[in-house]
Amino acid sequence: MPLALKKSGKKARNSYTRSSAPAKKSGSGRGPEIRFGGIVTGVFKRLKGFSGLKSLAALTVLLAGLGLIIAGVCYSSLWLYNKAITSDFFTTRHVDVTGNVRLSHDMVLQYGGIREGDNSLAVSIAKVERNLRKTPWVEEASVKRLLPDRFVIRLKERLPSFWVHRDGVLYYANELGEIIAPVESKNFLSLPTLRVDPGAEDALPYLTRLMKGMQSGLLPIEAGAVSSVSVSPGKGIEIYLEDREMRLSIATDDWEGNLSRLSLTLGDLARRHELRNVREIRSVNGNVWVLLNQPA
């Protein structure tokens, strides 16, 4: 009988079969990815390979290198800036001003703190605008830099409509009676004098409507003929025409109606050549009262 085989087909107790590891998949078709901070991560991975003093020395060298790079960039930027602000190429040669009525071109430059010949890059636009807004005549200001040598300044001035006496000083005031600046010889402009009686502050907005009425022709009076304007609780808005020695009073209740009736009355008196005999006209409560001069 041939050599006997193992009585059972079982494997030996100590035998084993090595399992094959699953094969890795081939590339997914995506190229190598560049992640944010990859360079810094690589540097720190290299630092992990060092230990003790070697790691500290490497870190010191790295920080020193970064410091030198930053210092170089800063130095280069300062050098370029200094070159630019001293270069004749950026010399201010033109300053255009628009919107100025009361202020001359030279006054705008003086108040703003900007001059022709200054380096345009060294001028602070925010400072120039702030300086202009501090002046009493300027309501709004905008400054635009046009490199290499030009600035454009746009202004909105406060326009005076009246003179106002305050503490012994004569001031310009806007159409609401708000003070602008003292009256001076260098910016002299003849305007009606405004007086506001106590308790008549609520009627001040009607001054604007009065000025618009004269400008539009709704009230047939030239603004230059008005010598003074008074605001009082009893008579409303009162206008004095010095050349005719005539007073016109307009009550503020039913303003449009009172203004229209006053205008019709003035037109009728003018057609009949009777204005020279009129001392006062009052438009109030839907009626117009005409007071004639007393005979000598």
Chain segment 165-213, per-residue pLDDT in tens: 999 999 999 999 999 999 988 778 999 999 999 999 999 999 999 999 9
DSSP 123-145: --HHHHHHHHHHSTTEEEEEEEE
For residue 169, the cross-strand partners are 166
Angstrom distance (rounded) from CA 159 to CA 162: 10
Going by the DSSP 8-state scheme, the letter that residue 49 receives in this structure is T
Q: What is the pLDDT of residues 114-160, one digit of tens each?
A: 999 989 988 999 999 999 999 999 999 999 999 999 999 999 999 99
Q: What is the pLDDT of residues 36-60, one digit of tens each?
A: 455 556 555 655 555 555 667 767 7
Look at residue 203 and give its three-state secondary structure: helix
Q: Is the pLDDT of residue 34 over 80?
A: no
The token pair at 190 is 């003849």
The token pair at 152 is 């454009």
The token pair at 197 is 């009686």
For residue 283, what is the enclosing H or E element? strand 278-284
Q: How far is CA 209 from the centre of its chain?
A: 27
Q: How far is CA 265 from the centre of its chain?
A: 46
Classify each residue of 255-279 as buried b or exposed e, where b means 16 or more C-beta atoms within 10 Å of its C-beta.
beebbebbbebbeebeeeeeeeebe
Q: Are strands 162-166 and 236-241 parallel, antiparallel or unpaired?
A: unpaired
pTM, rounded to two decimals: 0.66
Residues near 264 by beta carbon (within 8 Å), at least 6 away in sequence: none
Report which residue type is found at 35: R
Look at residue 205 and give its three-state secondary structure: helix
Report whether the peptide linkage leading into residue 233 is cis, meaning its omega lies within 30 degrees of zero.
no
